[in-house]
Amino acid sequence: MSAERIALVVTGLTALTPSIREVVLAPIDGGSLPSYAPGSHLVLDVPVGDGRERALANAYSLTGETVEPTEYRISVLRCDPADGAAGGSAWVHTLAVGDKVEALPPRNLFAPVRHATKHLLVGAGIGITPLLSHLRSHVRWDADVELLHVCREGEGAHVDEVVALTGGAATVVHDRATFAALLAERVRDQPLGTHLYTCGPTGFMDLVHLEAAAAGWPAERVHAEAFGAADLDPGAPFTVGVAGEEIEVPSGVSLLEALEEAGHEVPNLCRQGVCGECRVPVASGSTPVLHRDLYLTDEDKAANDCLMACVSRALPTDDRPAHLEVTL
């Protein structure tokens, strides 16, 4: 990883809801932090410990001031390790004021399209966070904006703030059926030139993509910020050849983990198929790749010449067991 880490200290903690905590982070040595475009996220280093066998790098959307900020603000939903979560968000919920943390500078895969004539923001639950920074920017630049949001009663972090910012152009609902009807109606009545931005659980964003496509939206007008690949099955075992050596990748272990355990260094960041850091070239002699990431384009995937080592695997063919030849 090339980017220089930023040393930060926790300066504020607020419980926005019983399960969502806002964390305020300031530079350890004072001054201002790098500016960022709306929709950016911060990648926090989560150390080993408390049941976490590996260090994690968790991405959280930045919700605060974007220009020469003196602090970074994130809002983190606690996902329970008892339910299978990796434990990064649970660690964030143990932080105390004064704790030191490290992060990579903000990165952006979800910036607003500035020439759009209108911005339609569609969020669910904690997916409000990147939309909040979009909204602040649109209010500052006087851009036309409308927001649709669905969240559980009592779990509506940032909702009051969002409603105040839009001055009435926000609709917040609390059940899926009402939301689906609202979405179907609103995507059919947006001026030409509108771009749509969505963030929420994978199933929710699938619904948004489907409704937009059904209403004639080309994919280029629809932008999504993914939390991570949907819950993936452990996958079938396969083998990988690297520099003349053959490594077993058992079920439940990723190619990235197998390569690391064999002593190979692979640049990586999110370890969940989103960031694109762990792209590994695939050489001839490989069986087809089972792509499970959210990063590569359809053309990239069809070429079968690379894969994201953190989530993707090999598929067997009729006459050959699943095997990849990779170059690092």
Q: If we measure between CA atoms, which residue out of 253, 316, 272 comes closest to residue 290?
A: 316
- Positive or negative: CA dihedral 162, 158, 59, 79: negative
DSSP assignment of 79-141 equals: PPGGGT--SHHHHHTT--TT-EEEEEEEE-S----TT-SEEEEEEEGGGHHHHHHHHHHHHHT
The correct pick among 30, 192, 233, 263 for binding other proteins (CB under 8 A) is 192
190 binds other proteins (CB under 8 A): yes
Q: At what angle do helices 176-186 and 202-214 cross, to 10 degrees?
A: 30
217 binds other proteins (CB under 8 A): yes
193 binds other proteins (CB under 8 A): yes
- Stretch of 170-178, 212-220, 276-284, 301-309 contacting other proteins, by CB under 8 A: 212-220
> In whole angstroms, how close is the CB of 282 to other proteins at the nearest point?
25
Specify the length of the chain in residues.
Answer: 328
Question: In terms of DSSP bridges, do strands 279-281 and 306-308 run parallel, antiparallel, or are they unpaired?
Answer: antiparallel
Q: If we measure between CA atoms, which residue out of 181, 79, 93 comes closest to residue 126?
A: 79
299 binds other proteins (CB under 8 A): no
The residues in 219-278 that bind other proteins, with binding defined as CB under 8 A, are 219-221
Nearer to other proteins, 70 or 117 (CB): 117
**CB burial of residue 45 (10 Å; 0-12, 13-18, 19+):** middle
Nearer to other proteins, 219 or 243 (CB): 219
CB 197 within 8 Å of CB 112: yes
Nearer to other proteins, 221 or 264 (CB): 221
297 binds other proteins (CB under 8 A): no
216 binds other proteins (CB under 8 A): yes
The correct pick among 218, 244, 318, 319 for binding other proteins (CB under 8 A) is 218
Site string (81-120) toward other proteins, x via CB under 8 A: ----------------------------------x-x---
Nearer to other proteins, 75 or 194 (CB): 194
Q: Which residues lie near other proteins (CB under 8 A)?
A: 115, 117, 187-194, 213, 215-221
